[in-house]
């Protein structure tokens, strides 16, 4: 037998590294320890198991060729020993052994290693509020919890669900409850938007509206203060503003690295408790590797370490760890933090930094928005997509991209291309010429990702003066400032007409796009004009023209009506 | 008025440049000359107009907000003068004017310019064979031809169609005839595969099979020798091998740059006749720009100029030309040659160099193939996708990627991400860690693009020994060599059983994947073993294991049964 390789943690990074290192060194003695009895599963599939899209939990633990990844599978197919139901208690780095305990019997033992890997993953953050220990309060931390949640729903014990946390897992769980089981479902999010830090306000607002249209209640800017119960069972949730009845409460308030064993062994941890590793996934002890949700990795935009607990990264890190344990000096250079999520009939994706994060990191950041067709506008399956590009004004570097559109792989295509490009340091100008494979059923000759880069280019060079949807909405709500500005609606008269009728031509002037060159002298010089169209493109053209005839007092509404409609503005004439 | 800008050509690059330069310099006097009366249309949409997906040709000439882009539109909305039906006869570079002729009246005139742009596009290659001038023979060169073709089909004049050329336009036109009109349709391609130089054999073969399954006849390796006619009307096509009846013949044998006017004016042309431009789209005369299908651009992989007549590139080049004509020094750095196409229910895409082209260019090129799930294998909409990565063994650079899968945007997502990455010089190792946004409805934790990079990595490092589907198929066909080798089928016994029954255990041995570690001593030492599974992944694992126990005589079948089935091998037990 060759080297003894011991891996603590058997969900994603651990099994991936084990299989890789075994393939590279068939004589290695590879052992995976896990305190759980269910291992090597797709944790990201839990919401789809709960919803019923995935009928049996064993599918989450199976290979693509339908073998369940259990102890026997790892032994026979992979030549890897699994010690499940075995908890790692500590690491003796001097003696090079892991002290373990059999969870069932309490029996203890030492497992020696030549190389150790820590893949202990993450643990859900449990809010320190009263009632967090009531029966019916769940985190989404392992398959057992998922099985129990689904059992409760399937046996009719869940009529009302509350999800604490409007992040990806919270939204996915809410959809699972509502869409397939018809459970009355609410989400409570402490921040003023869903998906905080992942996407910015416009994208988050479109997701919120679509979730609400699908009858999920969403309460933003409300903290969960107490989980209410009776006879030890959950009956509801009290926030700062209201009380919501519930038979089940899901706490989806984020995760933290599970790194106690590493910390106690004296390995270097980050301030938030993640294990510090180099590009070869090696900890501060050269004989110990770590990967997955327990480590932090390099952010390829900010150049700083960040915590990115994602199954896709865990697998890549695991493979790099496996390589290095076998002596191949592979590197995991970092990540840009790509994200994608289905929400009923739409999807939302992001990569790189959000505006909020970019500003907090000190970038001279701004955003470009547009809402064009996702493919040739004459092709029958065409639909509107909304993109926001985050860029640095000083360097013209693209820092991030966010997209919203109908369910399908179209948003993925742009987010993935952007992730590849951003990780290589691409600029606005690179994005303007990014070559998206073109045929009418798939894309537009000027693809949406090029279009948003064009907007960023025009903004960066000071050719485009814009206002945000937030500012426009607050103007619309604030009667006192409305005398200073005028909406210039350049859409077709049939589209603009209802707004003119509702608000009056003093406030809402309609001149069709193709008549502005003739009729611009109808415009006032003493008001700020907000130019409005569907996507923002025509508005920019009109702004350019108006500049040239002495009207420099206009602003383009970023994202236009295509985005405003998807945010669900309440003053819009129906 | 400011500068006089004259643009020859009004389809894609011309109008894009005109609009951009006008927005940047509102005082410029911008004129577009085109010999046609229909301008500014989406030529790539012609097959979808012929098929009926796009009901009216005016949709191809409309904006996304449903205005037809005609002379009036350009005048009113854009402030641009269109002189349609006006042919440019020559350029007087000394006097800076274009000599033009009114196509209808024959009247001639000189149009002076400060800056000229040539956007004359391409012309279809007309095969020099007898009958090319018969009534019923069409090229896909402009909207008038498309309108005439559709009229003939719609009025029942087309029962049988032959398409000469199995490139993208040929295949799209064949689908249009067959799918929506039920016309008996054949494709004749001179090369031994469809989509030559764009994709390699495996991808092309899968497309061919799918087209044939949809009742399009495809004849490969056959040259069109004569178009047959009666009374001046087409009646059929004679190839080297057969005669095919036809009421209509579409010549889709590629296009050539339309650059006569540039050549006659003494501007530098490439050997194939494309206008030579720099990164700012400037010709050898600094006052004359050119863009679109009449120029050649830099290939970002080979570093050589190449001819890429694509509407998407024409628009990007046009914008860069517009910037530069207005004094903004934008650059068009080149392209990687991305391609995507719908063929009935599947799609095929590619970017970068094909293996054939890479070898011809002198790279130490090889390919990795795999055929995994396109998203989490437990997600209900999961499907198999096939990817081929072309890489350079010496530098580990990725030179190209080709993909085949079900119709949708999933192949686009991978091709677009690859195009972005390849244009930045990404290596196999970069692709192994390429961050595809992950959630089960969209992708797999180890995405297909990562998976194919893993295969390339293992090949490059000599850990994976493979054989190609072509070699395997020729072995299967050649009885004389079969004694030297053995198929080792590691799939489930239910899958492998029919092959064992058909070919006998001497030639086709089945040992399930998870039993090989126990049963490897049943294997012979004196034969080359071809290890077979669905995607190729398990086969590599088994090869690694067999190496370690003294069997170094195995080869993995690249792409496995997932690809072989899609190629439609005829010996496979049904």
ipTM of the complex model: 0.96
| Among candidate residues B253, B271, B302, the one where a domain is terminated | B253
pLDDT attached to residue B479? 78
Question: Does pLDDT of B488 surpass 80?
Answer: yes
The reply to whether B90 and B236 lie within a common domain is: no
Task: Decide if B391 contacts B399 (C-beta within 8 A).
Answer: yes
The predicted model gives A93-104 an average pLDDT of 97
The reply to whether B443 and B431 lie within a common domain is: yes
Listed residue (B299, B316, B311) closest to B354, CA to CA: B299
Chain centroid to CA A47: 15
Task: Decide if B313 contacts B335 (C-beta within 8 A).
Answer: yes
Task: Report residue A141's pLDDT band, with 50, 70 and 90 as the boundaries.
Answer: confident
Question: Does pLDDT of A574 surpass 80?
Answer: no
Task: Report residue A478's pLDDT band, with 50, 70 and 90 as the boundaries.
Answer: confident
Q: Which of B45, B446, B544 sits opposite A376 (nearest CB)?
A: B45
Kindly give, in sequence order, each residue whose CB lies less than 8 Å from that of residue A508, ignoring residues fewer than 6 positions away: A486, A487, A489, A496, A499, A500, A502
Residue keyed to tokens 């037809």: B68
pLDDT attached to residue A243? 98
**With an 8 Å Cβ cutoff, are B545 and A79 in contact?**
yes
In a domain, B331, yes or no: no
**With an 8 Å Cβ cutoff, are B435 and A351 in contact?**
yes
Q: Which residues from chain A sit within 8 angstroms of residue B420, using beta carbons?
A: 417-418, 420-421, 424, 426, 434-435
Q: Which residues from chain B sit within 8 angstroms of residue A345, using beta carbons?
A: none
Task: Decide if B20 contacts B323 (C-beta within 8 A).
Answer: yes
Pick the residue of B12, B378, B424 with the most A CBs within 10 A to test the interface with A by mutation. Answer: B378
Does residue A421 sit at the B interface (CB-CB below 8 Å)? yes
Question: Does pLDDT of B180 surpass 90?
Answer: no
pLDDT attached to residue B141? 84
DSSP structure class, residue B272: T
The per-residue pLDDT for range B368-427, each reduced to its tens digit, is: 999 999 999 999 999 999 999 999 999 999 999 999 999 999 999 999 999 999 999 999
| Integer Cα distance of B485 and B479 in angstroms | 11
Nearest C-alpha of chain A: how many angstroms from B4? 17
Bridge partners for A184 per DSSP: A160
| Percentage of the residues of chain A whose pLDDT score is greater than 70 | 100
Q: What angle do CA B454, A20, B380 make, to 5 degrees?
A: 65
| Integer Cα distance of A279 and A317 in angstroms | 9
Question: Does pLDDT of B574 surpass 80?
Answer: no
Nearest C-alpha of chain B: how many angstroms from A20? 9
Question: Does pLDDT of A282 surpass 90?
Answer: yes
**With an 8 Å Cβ cutoff, are B439 and A515 in contact?**
no
Provide the number of CB pairs (under 8 Å) joining chain A to chain B. Answer: 320
Does residue B51 sit at the A interface (CB-CB below 8 Å)? no
The predicted model gives B271-299 an average pLDDT of 98
In a domain, B109, yes or no: yes
Q: Which residues from chain A sit within 8 angstroms of residue B492, using beta carbons?
A: 65-66
The structure tokens listed for B238 are 């004679």
Does residue A379 sit at the B interface (CB-CB below 8 Å)? yes
Does residue B568 sit at the A interface (CB-CB below 8 Å)? no
Task: Report residue B542's pLDDT band, with 50, 70 and 90 as the boundaries.
Answer: very high
- Beta-sheet strand order (sheet of B386-392): B339-343, B346-352, B398-406, B386-392, B365-370
**Which among A19, A44, A97, A386 is annotated as catalytic?**
A44
Q: Are strands B248-251 and B233-239 parallel, antiparallel or unpaired?
A: unpaired
Does residue A448 sit at the B interface (CB-CB below 8 Å)? no
> What angle do the packed helices B560-567 and B469-477 form, to 10 degrees?
70
| Integer Cα distance of A390 and B86 in angstroms | 44
- The tally of domains found in chain A comes to 4
Q: Which regions of B231-267 does DSSP assign to beta strands (E)?
A: 233-239, 243-245, 248-251, 255-257
Q: What angle do CA B329, B333, B335 make, to 5 degrees?
A: 145
Q: Which residues from chain B sit within 8 angstroms of residue A410, using beta carbons?
A: 409, 412
* Residue B479, Cβ density class (10 Å: 0-12 exposed, 13-18 middle, ≥19 buried): exposed
Residue keyed to tokens 């603590």: A8
3-state secondary structure A462-490: CCCCEECHHHHHHHHHCHHHHHHEEEEEC
The reply to whether A382 and A291 lie within a common domain is: no
Listed residue (A332, A243, A288) closest to A119, CA to CA: A288
Q: Which of B320, B341, B420 sits opposite A421 (nearest CB)?
A: B420
Question: Does pLDDT of B569 surpass 90?
Answer: no
Give the DSSP H/E element, type plus range, for residue A16.
Answer: helix A13-24
| Integer Cα distance of B170 and A292 in angstroms | 48
Task: Report residue A477's pLDDT band, with 50, 70 and 90 as the boundaries.
Answer: confident
Bridge partners for A502 per DSSP: none
In a domain, B572, yes or no: no
The per-residue pLDDT for range B449-487, each reduced to its tens digit, is: 999 999 999 999 999 999 999 999 988 888 787 778 999
Listed residue (B287, B282, B285) closest to B295, CA to CA: B282
DSSP structure class, residue B74: I
The reply to whether A314 and A355 lie within a common domain is: no
Largest CA distance in chain B: 89
Question: Three-state SS for B364?
Answer: coil
| Among candidate residues A201, A229, A253, the one where a domain is terminated | A253
- B268 backbone dihedrals φ, ψ, rounded to 5°: -70, 130
The reply to whether B427 and B477 lie within a common domain is: no
Range from B82-86, B176-180, B240-244, B345-349 carrying the lowest mean pLDDT = B176-180
In a domain, A206, yes or no: yes
In a domain, B521, yes or no: yes
Does residue A315 sit at the B interface (CB-CB below 8 Å)? yes
Task: Decide if A404 contacts A346 (C-beta within 8 A).
Answer: yes
| Integer Cα distance of B267 and B285 in angstroms | 7
Question: Does pLDDT of A1 surpass 90?
Answer: no
- Does residue B501 come out as left (phi exceeding 0), alpha (psi in the -120 to 50 range) or beta? alpha
Task: Report residue A363's pLDDT band, with 50, 70 and 90 as the boundaries.
Answer: very high
- A122 backbone dihedrals φ, ψ, rounded to 5°: -125, 165
Q: Which residues from chain B sit within 8 angstroms of residue A203, using beta carbons?
A: none
The predicted model gives A256-273 an average pLDDT of 98
Give the burial string for B295-320 (b: 16+ CB within 10 Å, else e). Answer: bbbbbbbbeebbbbbbbbbbbbbbbb
Q: Which of B342, B461, B514 sits opposite A77 (nearest CB)?
A: B514
Nearest C-alpha of chain B: how many angstroms from A23? 6
The reply to whether B10 and B159 lie within a common domain is: no
Task: Decide if A121 contacts A10 (C-beta within 8 A).
Answer: no
Task: Decide if A16 contacts A315 (C-beta within 8 A).
Answer: yes
Domain containing residue B471: CATH number: 3.40.250.10
In a domain, B130, yes or no: no
The reply to whether A370 and A412 lie within a common domain is: yes
Give the burial string for B329-344 (b: 16+ CB within 10 Å, else e). Answer: ebebebbbbbbbbbbb
Question: Three-state SS for B84?
Answer: strand
Does residue B569 sit at the A interface (CB-CB below 8 Å)? no
| Integer Cα distance of A108 and A120 in angstroms | 19
Residues of B with a known catalytic role:
44
Q: Which of A168, A350, A450 sits opposite B316 (nearest CB)?
A: A450
- C-alpha separations of A118 from A17, A261, A281, A285 in Å: 10, 9, 10, 12
Does residue B342 sit at the A interface (CB-CB below 8 Å)? yes
A positions 224-263 inside 8 Å of B (CB) = none
The reply to whether A473 and A454 lie within a common domain is: no
| Integer Cα distance of B341 and B350 in angstroms | 9
The per-residue pLDDT for range A13-27, each reduced to its tens digit, is: 999 999 999 999 999
The structure tokens listed for A185 are 């479902």
| Integer Cα distance of B338 and B205 in angstroms | 19
**With an 8 Å Cβ cutoff, are A316 and B433 in contact?**
yes
Task: Decide if A200 contacts A388 (C-beta within 8 A).
Answer: yes
The structure tokens listed for A437 are 């494979």
Listed residue (B555, B124, B201) closest to B388, CA to CA: B201
Count of positions (residues) in chain B: 574
- Does residue A270 come out as left (phi exceeding 0), alpha (psi in the -120 to 50 range) or beta? beta
Question: Does pLDDT of A499 surpass 80?
Answer: yes
The structure tokens listed for B197 are 């130089």
In a domain, A132, yes or no: no
| Percentage of the residues of chain B whose pLDDT score is greater than 70 | 100
Task: Report residue A437's pLDDT band, with 50, 70 and 90 as the boundaries.
Answer: very high
Q: Which residues from chain B sit within 8 angstroms of residue A21, using beta carbons?
A: none
The reply to whether B517 and B373 lie within a common domain is: no
Q: Which domain holds residue B60?
A: 4-41+48-121+256-325
pLDDT, averaged across chain B: 96
**With an 8 Å Cβ cutoff, are A438 and B310 in contact?**
yes
| Integer Cα distance of B217 and B267 in angstroms | 44
Nearest C-alpha of chain A: how many angstroms from B23? 6
Helices (H), A371-529: 410-423, 428-432, 448-460, 469-477, 493-503, 516-519
**With an 8 Å Cβ cutoff, are B438 and A12 in contact?**
no
pLDDT, averaged across chain A: 96
| Among candidate residues B253, B275, B297, the one where a domain is terminated | B253
**With an 8 Å Cβ cutoff, are B76 and A518 in contact?**
yes
Question: Three-state SS for B341?
Answer: strand
In a domain, B127, yes or no: no
Listed residue (A228, A248, A275, A94) closest to A159, CA to CA: A248
Q: What distance, in Å, lies between the first and last C-alpha atoms of chain A?
A: 75
Q: Which residues from chain B sit within 8 angstroms of residue A445, using beta carbons?
A: 12, 42, 44, 311-312, 314-315
Question: Three-state SS for A149?
Answer: helix
> What angle do the packed helices B537-548 and A13-24 form, to 10 degrees?
50
Domain containing residue A276: CATH number: 3.50.50.60
Q: Which residues from chain B sit within 8 angstroms of residue A441, using beta carbons?
A: 48, 342, 347, 407
Whole-prediction pTM: 0.96
Question: Three-state SS for B484?
Answer: helix
The per-residue pLDDT for range A24-71, each reduced to its tens digit, is: 999 999 999 999 999 999 989 999 999 999 999 999 999 988 899 999
Task: Decide if A25 contacts B544 (C-beta within 8 A).
Answer: no
Does residue B423 sit at the A interface (CB-CB below 8 Å)? yes
**With an 8 Å Cβ cutoff, are A312 and B438 in contact?**
yes
**With an 8 Å Cβ cutoff, are B342 and A413 in contact?**
no
Question: Three-state SS for A423?
Answer: helix
The reply to whether A453 and A521 lie within a common domain is: no
The per-residue pLDDT for range A373-418, each reduced to its tens digit, is: 999 999 999 999 999 999 999 999 999 999 999 999 999 999 999 9
The structure tokens listed for A444 are 């537009």
Tell whether the torsion through CA atoms of A192, A194, A197 and A199 is positive or negative. Answer: negative
**With an 8 Å Cβ cutoff, are B424 and A429 in contact?**
no
The reply to whether B343 and B456 lie within a common domain is: yes
Kindly give, in sequence order, each residue whose CB lies less than 8 Å from that of residue A422, ignoring residues fewer than 6 positions away: A300, A301, A336, A351, A352, A398, A399, A400, A401
Question: Three-state SS for B172?
Answer: helix
- The reply to whether A44 belongs to the active site is yes
Listed residue (B548, B394, B377, B330) closest to A461, CA to CA: B330
Does residue B450 sit at the A interface (CB-CB below 8 Å)? yes
Q: Are strands A346-352 and A339-343 parallel, antiparallel or unpaired?
A: antiparallel
């Amino acid at each position: 037998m060759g080297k003894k390789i011991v891996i603590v943690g058997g969900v994603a990074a651990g099994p991936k590294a084990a299989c890789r290192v075994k393939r590279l060194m068939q004589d290695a003695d590879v052992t995976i320890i896990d305190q759980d009895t269910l291992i090597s599963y797709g944790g990201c599939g839990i919401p789809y198991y709960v919803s019923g899209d995935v009928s049996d939990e064993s599918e989450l633990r199976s290979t693509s060729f339908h073998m369940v990844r259990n102890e026997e599978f790892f032994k026979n197919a992979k030549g890897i020993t699994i010690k499940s139901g075995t908890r790692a208690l500590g690491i003796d780095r001097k003696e090079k052994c892991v002290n373990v305990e059999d969870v069932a019997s309490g029996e203890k033992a030492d497992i020696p290693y030549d190389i150790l890997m820590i893949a202990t993953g993450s643990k859900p953050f449990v809010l320190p509020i009263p009632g967090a220990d009531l029966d019916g309060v769940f985190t989404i931390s392992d398959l057992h919890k998922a099985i129990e949640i689904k059992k409760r729903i399937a046996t009719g014990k869940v009529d009302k669900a509350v999800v604490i946390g409007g992040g990806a897992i919270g939204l996915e769980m809410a959809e699972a409850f509502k869409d397939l089981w018809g459970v009355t479902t609410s989400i409570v999010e402490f921040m003023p938007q869903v998906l905080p830090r992942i996407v910015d306000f416009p994208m988050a607002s479109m997701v919120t509206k679509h979730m609400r249209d699908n009858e999920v209640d969403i309460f933003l800017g409300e903290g969960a203060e107490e989980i209410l119960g009776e006879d030890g069972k959950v009956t509801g949730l009290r926030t700062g503003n209201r009380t919501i009845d519930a038979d089940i409460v899901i706490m989806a308030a984020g995760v933290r690295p599970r790194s106690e064993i590493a910390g106690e062994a004296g390995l270097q941890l980050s301030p938030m408790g993640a294990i510090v590793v180099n590009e070869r996934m090696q900890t501060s002890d050269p004989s110990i590797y770590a990967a997955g949700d327990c480590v932090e990795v390099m952010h390829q935009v900010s150049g700083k370490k960040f915590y990115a607990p994602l199954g896709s990264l865990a697998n890549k890190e695991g493979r790099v760890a496996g390589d290095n344990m076998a002596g191949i000096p592979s590197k995991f250079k970092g990540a840009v933090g790509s994200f994608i999520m289905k929400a009923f009939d739409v999807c939302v994706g992001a990569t790189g930094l959000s505006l909020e994060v970019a500003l907090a990191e000190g970038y001279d950041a701004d955003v470009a928005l547009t809402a064009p067709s996702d493919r040739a506008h004459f092709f029958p399956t065409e639909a509107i997509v909304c993109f926001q590009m985050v860029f640095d004004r000083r360097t013209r570097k693209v820092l991030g991209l966010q997209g919203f559109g109908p369910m399908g792989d179209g948003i993925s295509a742009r987010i993935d291309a952007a992730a590849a490009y951003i990780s290589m340091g691409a600029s606005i100008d690179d994005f303007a010429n990014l070559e998206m494979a073109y045929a009418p059923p798939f894309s537009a000759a000027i693809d949406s990702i090029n279009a948003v880069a064009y907007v960023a280019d025009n903004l960066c060079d000071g050719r485009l003066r814009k206002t945000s949807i937030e500012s426009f909405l607050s103007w619309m709500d604030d009667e006192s400032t409305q005398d200073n500005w005028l909406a210039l609606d350049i859409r077709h008269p049939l589209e603009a007409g209802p707004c003119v009728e509702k608000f009056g031509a003093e406030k809402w002037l309609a001149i069709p796009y193709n008549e502005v060159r003739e009729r611009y002298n109808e415009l006032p010089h003493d008001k700020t004009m907000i130019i409005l169209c569907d996507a923002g493109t025509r508005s920019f053209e009109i702004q350019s023209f108006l500049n040239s005839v002495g009207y420099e007092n206009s602003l383009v509404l970023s994202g236009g009506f295509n985005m405003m409609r998807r945010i669900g503005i309440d003053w819009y004439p129906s």
